[in-house]
Amino acid sequence: IFGGFIADRFLGYRPSILLGGGLMAAGLLLLLIPNLSWFLIGLSVIVVGNGLFKPNISAMVGQLYAPDDARRDSGFTIFYMGINAGAALAPLICGSLIGKYFGLKWGFCAAGIGMILGLVMFHWLTGWLGHIGAALQPAETINRVLKVLLGCVAAVPVIYLMLSQAKLVSFILMGLFGLLTIYFIGSGARSGDRVQLDRYIAMLLLFLAKIVFWGMFEQAGSSLNFFAKDHVNAPFDFSVFQSFNPVFILLLGPVFAWAWPRLEARGMNPSIPRKFAIALIVVAISFTSLVWTIGNLQGPDGKLPWQMLALAYLINTMGELCLSPIGLSMVTKLAAPKDVGMAMGAWFMCTAIGNFAAGAIAAHASG
């Protein structure tokens, strides 16, 4: 949220992305230090950097399209495929390859180097973007970056405290969601534009739908991971399942990106709320299929065929493609131009709330 606000009002998107990515790389390299306190400091630096990076690069994608451009949803789907290309490769390169044979800390190092290479590529090719995301005050950019960097350094101890006190995070997340609700509804009311107020109310309702979806979907990194380790018969290491979802995104992303404009041309493209509803139904079907598998397909050793867990990941991915890239597009459509970065930050905060709920559910299930 703060990263989006800083980009909207003070720094601009490109400088925010470069600074945020640099901090993320530094945080990853700090994970090389074999000490729990330094590990948490490294994670804190990554969190602060991600706050500047993640909402603003998504907001820039939205600026590439006119508000009524039917290609916007497909553009975000392609962007989402890029994210998942990294998500597919990361567990294999940093974990199964470098981490397994050279030590996990060198996997973190590889991720940091990858982040630096990504920033070099981004800076090198910014000419393709024209004026999109440019610094708000080019003559003052360096001075403003230094001020924001000092603020980031000051934020690291706060994030460190939050990582050390997990229960505190739930109250902070709920409090921030309440404050954002007040801000967006107040902003819509102050604008005097009834349409903008209705857009903000719709956006907040879709935020709630996203929290529910992510609370289920993010079992992938926790309870489904434990499930794969202990109850699934697979000819490969259980950690490979973590690459299934991004691989399915890469395979299905072009299909969904192709489908939305074609459906639009035929007057059959579901509205954004309907796409969100489809996502919730699909992820429910995925977990129902696992419940059926547990009741009907256990082998003599009590384990389940890995293909059924792979099918569940495939179904979950279909739901994700109906919600996540569409939601990114939705935020850039519904938020007023002055609030796009902060609204995108709120969108990702809903991911955090969903992740927190998923962790609580997984802890209860594994306990």
Helices (H), 136-222: 141-164, 166-190, 194-217
Q: How far apart are CA 342 and CA 335, in angstroms?
A: 9
Instruction: Work out the widest C-alpha separation in the chain, in whole angstroms.
Output: 70
Q: What is the pLDDT of residue 182?
A: 93
Q: What is the pTM of this model?
A: 0.74
Q: What is the pLDDT of residue 256?
A: 87
Q: What is the pLDDT of residue 284?
A: 94
- The distance from CA 235 to its chain's CA centroid, rounded to whole angstroms, is 30
Q: What is the pLDDT of residue 367?
A: 61
Q: What is the pLDDT of residue 211?
A: 93
Q: Are 325 and 185 in contact (CB under 8 A)?
A: no
Q: What is the pLDDT of residue 236?
A: 81
Q: How far apart are CA 149 and CA 20, in angstroms?
A: 9
Long-range contacts of 200-203 (CB under 8 A, 24+ apart): 200/334, 200/335, 202/273, 202/334, 203/330, 203/331, 203/334, 203/335, 203/343
Q: Residue 280 to residues 146, 284, 290, 299: CA-CA distances in angstroms?
A: 43, 6, 16, 30
pLDDT digit of tens for each residue in the chain (367 aa)? Answer: 888 889 888 898 999 999 999 999 999 999 999 899 999 999 999 999 999 998 888 888 888 888 778 788 778 888 888 888 888 888 888 887 888 788 888 989 999 999 999 999 998 988 888 888 888 888 888 999 999 999 999 999 999 988 888 778 888 888 989 998 999 999 889 888 888 999 999 999 999 999 999 999 988 878 888 888 888 988 887 778 888 988 998 899 889 888 888 898 899 989 889 999 999 999 999 999 999 999 898 888 888 999 999 999 999 999 998 998 888 788 888 888 888 878 888 888 898 899 888 888 887 776 6
Close Cβ partners of 325 (under 8 Å, ≥ 6 residues apart): 73, 76, 77, 79, 80, 256
